[in-house]
Structure 1
Amino acid sequence: MKYSKFLVLSLSIFLLVACGAKKESNQSAKDDKKVVVKTLPSSNNKEIDNTDLVNDFVDVYFNQTLDISLLEEKEMNLREYVDDSSLESMLSEIATLKHQIEYYEKLGEDNTNFTSLYVNRKLKSVDIYNNGALYLIDVEYEETSPVYVDGMTYRGQYTFKIENNKIYNFKELP
């Protein structure tokens, strides 16, 4: 009970302080996505910098191409970065998408039950906020699909923890 109160209080403080955090811009030369890292003050002086882990995970999770071999590579990479039930959900989405690709290639039409997954996705920008092991990311990405004419840009916020160099409790905020 005390742990859950502490977690709720920590997350609340984390979100309140996030608005006033200092920005450090970190541009990648190989692509045009924008990355901003905002580290919040922490009482832990032994804090480990997981920026590379977070950047790599975000690239793997949000970038997606409708190609079965690339999805298998994505699946393998996610196993490296993510642990717990979050991984099961991500792998389930990939399995469904691979099935949808096979269906589309075989029949040349979309199965409308899976349309929301049947997309190419490209990460446009990410803001990373962290307070110790707690992270909040604000991402913007574009989705395109052979099923639809126009692409769409989406924005979402996600929270997670890092323990032992693994992502835990990855959740999208409402």
Structure 2
Amino acid sequence: VEILCIFLFLLCLGANIALGGKVSQSSQYGGAGPQKAVDGNRANNWRDKSCAHTRKNRDPWWRLDLEQAYSISTVTITNRRDCCPERLNGLNITTVGGTESLAHKWGPLPCMCHGGPIFQMTTPLLNQVATSTWVIPGRAEYLTLCEVEVFGTLADQDDDDEVKCEGM
């Protein structure tokens, strides 16, 4: 029974659909392009060369385009640990559905004064998310994301599955 419950939980969680996804950002600092945040590596030290990093811009942003509608079960952001984790203070996360209508917005997020996982969304977003944008509005700042993980399933698959994941 325990193994079945774990299997059903993982089935509802889905795969990390951000992994290797189509990403962009407002600018690039050094070799820290937007794809570094979806490389599957949670290393959160700058020297590990696994963090996406913008230059110091006003309203810096990072975007993930899933290119299809998904039902999202969990989103986790890993912040930089070796320095400057407070740079993500005030981060807003906006998700947009396939019809370009606002699906959901989180933020501004409170003090991000530590490294490691800093945000975890666990309230499911069903049949809507195609694009997510992370932005620090209203000030000039660097935006550093060491890993962004988005777990979910294709939206049209939810209707066909025998296992319903709503409410997880």
- Do both share a fold (TM > 0.5)? no
The structure with more radius of gyration:
1
Bigger relative CO (Cα 8 Å, ≥ 6 apart) = 2
TM class, shorter-length: under 0.3
The two structures have a TM-score, normalised by structure 1, of 0.24
Greater helix proportion = 1
Higher strand share: 2
